[in-house]
Amino acid sequence: MRIASSPARWSHVASSPSRGTRAFGLGRGLDALIPGRDDDRGVLEIALHRLAANPDQPRATFDETLLGELAASIAVHGVLQPVIVRELADGGYQLIAGERRVRAARLVGLETVPAIVHETDGDATSLELALIENLQREDLNAIETALAYRELIDRFGMTHEALARQVGKSRVAVSNALRLLELAPETRAAIMEGRISEGHGRALAAITIPELQRAVLAVVLERQLSVRQTEELVRRKRDESPARRAGALSHDLQDLEAQLRGVLATRVGIVRTRRGGRLVIDFYSDEELDRLYSIITRGANGELAGTASSITTDHEDFPTT
């Protein structure tokens, strides 16, 4: 690593996180690259216009509120922790780690940032450092973390067990994180935008049919369901799914189910129990419930009334507490 002499205006570097330095098998980890308060090695002040973004940046979204708070801190205290860069052939620099600091510095109008120039052995090392730096931070969302895990696995051929050791997580935690990448695009976006939590995502991952998952997500968002309520709703929907019930329903009941879906223009499920069964009718708004009520009451003296007499109707798809 090459580090230029320290400019007089730069005072100190924040110490590494209290949780300690991890030893990374793929490299020494980011903490080994950042000098502590007692380290007399300096940094290079790099003009922001000479600093290129890292195309392998794992972070896909930047919270504007948090970025504004960081910018306010930098306006008062300056950039206390240097970014990590590598020198390019054209004399410029490419950012390896610290994009939030760079963005915040630009917001407050700084022209330079303190940086450590790291002599990497190629793009692989640059990517590794960027991924590890982001994984060590607390503000990555669950999808960004999972994407970083996937990059480390794909680029470096790591197993789940090896990756878990590198990032200080359990194998189960790594596997659960990676499962989030199998979610429907709309569900992944909801996690990244903060509309649902990682816990909601894990619950929804149990639904492997994209259309059904999107329908359940719509209910979760509209009703602002908790994780526990989402888990219960997912359990009910999985029990009601055609794949689970195909062998339990007679052909007559399957035909009836299809007819009801056509008449009501919404998802309808017939669930057999030991003492009869349930007729589950999905609705996603009060207006839709009123529409369904009108259809059912209008047909009460017609075909619908006698056909489903032995099946109870349950509109309560999820618990209210």
CA separation for the pair 146, 167 (Å, rounded): 12
Q: Which of 243, 169, 179 is nearest to 206 (CA)?
A: 179
pLDDT at 159: 84
Q: What is the 3-state secondary structure (H, E, C) of 14-68?
A: CCCCCCCCCCECCECCHHHHCCCCCCCCCCEEEEHHHEECCCCCCCCCCCHHHHH
DSSP states along 64-104:
HHHHHHHHHHHHHH---S-EEEEE-TTS-EEEEE-HHHHHH
Average the pLDDT over 253-262 and give the result.
82
pTM for this entry: 0.47
Question: Is the per-residue pLDDT at 279 higher than 80?
Answer: yes
Q: What is the 3-state secondary structure (H, E, C) of 258-294?
A: HHHHHHHCCCEEEEEECCEEEEEECCCCHHHHHHHHH
Q: Which of 113, 114, 145, 119 is nearest to 132 (CA)?
A: 145
Task: Dig out the tokens for 63 from the structure.
Answer: 């919270």
Mean pLDDT of the chain: 72
Beta bridge partners of 86: 94
- pLDDT tens for 22-38 read 333 333 333 433 333 33
CA separation for the pair 37, 11 (Å, rounded): 9
CA separation for the pair 25, 53 (Å, rounded): 26
Residue ranges per structural domain of the chain = 1-140, 183-240, 245-313
Fold annotation for 1-140: 3.90.1530
Assess whether 99 carries a catalytic annotation.
yes
More confident residue, 84 or 246: 84
Sign of CA pseudo-dihedral 43, 48, 51, 52: positive
Average the pLDDT over 188-212 and give the result.
90
pLDDT at 2: 39
Question: Edge-to-edge, what's the strand order for the sheet holding 312-313?
Answer: 268-273, 276-281, 312-313
Amino acid identity for residue 9 in this structure: R
Instruction: Among 25-34, 100-109, 191-200, name the one with the lowest average pLDDT.
Output: 25-34
Is the CB of residue 102 less than 8 Å from the CB of residue 84?
Answer: no
CA separation for the pair 94, 107 (Å, rounded): 19
Is the CB of residue 269 less than 8 Å from the CB of residue 240?
Answer: yes
Question: Is the per-residue pLDDT at 321 higher than 50?
Answer: no
More confident residue, 267 or 213: 213
CA 313 to chain CA centroid, Å, is: 36
What angle in degrees, to the nearest 10, is found between the helix axes of 123-135 and 160-167?
60
CA separation for the pair 83, 263 (Å, rounded): 62
The Cβ of residue 126 has, within 10 Å, a number of other Cβ atoms equal to: 22
Q: Is 312 helix (H, G, I), strand (E, B) or coil?
A: strand
More confident residue, 300 or 161: 161
Task: Please report, rounded to a whole number, the percentage of residues in the chain having pLDDT higher than 90.
Answer: 12
pLDDT at 6: 33
Query: What length is written for the chain?
Result: 321
- In the structure, what pLDDT confidence band is assigned to residue 309 with cuts at 50, 70 and 90? very low
Greatest pairwise CA separation for the chain in angstroms: 90
Q: Which of 64, 99, 193, 222 is catalytic?
A: 99
- pLDDT tens for 215-239 read 999 999 999 999 999 999 998 887 6
DSSP states along 153-186:
HHHH---HHHHHHHHT--HHHHHHHHHGGGS-HH
